[in-house]
């Protein structure tokens, strides 16, 4: 999508809504330091108002995420309200709570696809990264429950130093499970991954073998499973100023983020309409702040060079964006 075509859109095509940062796990690599909820997360009443805004936004798909989004008491109420607007619902989970009863409710609510984190072909690397004994077994059972209830199951794999060599075996395992897609890529030095970078970051040699294996497996399993990966995420993001995705990212606090990786905030869903926020989002990619930042951050490791040099773009304060 070129910027010219994109600029003609008045609404996002997809919306990612992080419902909460509350989580039952304390994953070593978590980019949002999931665990305790934020002090100013949207209330149940505010979330219902957001459902109305999202429902009227003309977006096609909504991805619900966390933390662990199932820990929000009003998760299924939010999901049902979005379904009532004929939104296509997807969901990200660590898999811990995906028992048969919960998955049956997901199916009845209208979820079409659920992505489950799976970071190894056995419990050792997965449970270590997730910092939670038993989490691998629960994730696998959750995936099996999804497939049994007719919900498409996909997998998110995070490569770190002690599991990256397993990617080939993991793909084989996922094919056996009936997974339709695996999403993976470089580890981002954010949140706990930033704190634990030295023990988690794969070497360049490991990454080279990792991506070579992905290329080989993509050919081997062509038509059986989709492998989604990007060799240099920051290079991909740096091109988005000219062709940004038609997307809105809502944080648990109601703030609108420019992307999952870039540290820019555009406004607040509590006070602004989706149309306003999407307009600011489109303009943000043209600003000098964003473009200058993208010129400095060309690789994931570049985040480590500027830990205290994070620009802040907030359209609640600076609405002018030429």
Q: Please give the helix or strand (H or E) that residue 17 lies within, else none.
A: strand 14-18
Is residue 147 predicted with pLDDT exceeding 50? yes
Length of the chain: 322
Q: Please give the helix or strand (H or E) that residue 293 lies within, else none.
A: helix 288-296
Of the listed ranges 52-61, 156-165, 199-208, 279-288, the least confidently predicted one is 279-288
Query: Span 182-186, mean pLDDT?
Result: 96
Specify the CATH class of 3-305 in words: alpha beta
Residues 6+ away with beta carbon under 8 Å from 148: 100, 103
Q: If pLDDT is split at 50, 70 and 90, which confidence band does 309 have?
A: low
CA distance 235 to 215: 19
Can you say whether residue 97 is alpha, beta or left, with left for phi > 0 and alpha for psi between -120 and 50 degrees?
alpha
Of the listed ranges 30-34, 88-92, 232-236, the least confidently predicted one is 232-236
What are the φ/ψ torsions at residue 284 (nearest 5 degrees)? -60, -35
Q: If pLDDT is split at 50, 70 and 90, which confidence band does 179 have?
A: very high
Look at residues 80, 121, 92 and name the one whose alpha carbon lies nearest to residue 34: 92
pLDDT (0 to 100) of residue 7? 58
CA distance 254 to 130: 27
Is residue 189 predicted with pLDDT exceeding 90? no
What are the φ/ψ torsions at residue 176 (nearest 5 degrees)? -65, -35
Is residue 203 predicted with pLDDT exceeding 80? yes
* pTM: predicted TM-score of the whole model, two decimal places: 0.90
Task: Give me Rg for the CA atoms of the chain.
Answer: 19
> Token digits for 255?
């703030």
């Amino acid at each position: 999508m070129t910027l010219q075509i994109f600029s003609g859109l008045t609404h996002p095509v997809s919306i990612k809504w992080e419902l909460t940062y509350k989580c039952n796990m304390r994953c070593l690599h978590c980019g949002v330091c999931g665990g305790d909820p934020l002090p100013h997360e949207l209330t149940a009443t505010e979330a219902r108002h957001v459902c109305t805004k999202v429902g009227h936004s003309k977006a096609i798909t909504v991805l619900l995420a966390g933390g662990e989004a199932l820990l929000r008491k009003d998760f299924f109420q939010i999901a049902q309200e979005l379904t009532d607007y004929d939104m296509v619902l997807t969901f990200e989970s660590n898999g811990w709570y995906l028992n048969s009863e919960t998955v049956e409710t997901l199916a009845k609510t209208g979820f079409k696809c659920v992505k489950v984190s799976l970071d190894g072909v056995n419990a050792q690397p997965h449970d270590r990264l997730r910092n939670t004994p038993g989490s691998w077994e629960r994730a696998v059972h959750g995936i099996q429950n999804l497939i049994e209830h007719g919900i498409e199951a996909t997998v998110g794999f995070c490569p770190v130093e002690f599991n990256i060599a397993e990617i080939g075996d993991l793909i084989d395992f996922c094919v056996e499970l009936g997974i339709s897609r695996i999403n993976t890529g470089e580890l981002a030095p954010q949140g706990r991954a930033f704190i634990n970078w030295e023990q988690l970051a794969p070497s360049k040699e490991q990454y080279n073998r990792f991506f070579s294996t992905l290329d080989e497996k993509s050919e081997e399993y062509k038509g059986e499973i989709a492998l989604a990966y990007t060799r240099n995420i920051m290079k991909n993001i740096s091109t988005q100023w000219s062709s940004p995705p038609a997307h809105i990212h809502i944080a648990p606090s109601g703030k609108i983020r420019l992307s999952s990786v870039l540290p820019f905030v555009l406004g607040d869903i509590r006070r602004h309409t989706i149309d306003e926020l999407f307009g600011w989002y489109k303009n943000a990619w043209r600003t000098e702040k964003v473009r200058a930042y993208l010129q400095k951050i060309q690789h994931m490791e570049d985040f480590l060079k500027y830990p205290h040099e994070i620009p802040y773009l907030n359209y609640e304060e600076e609405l002018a964006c030429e």
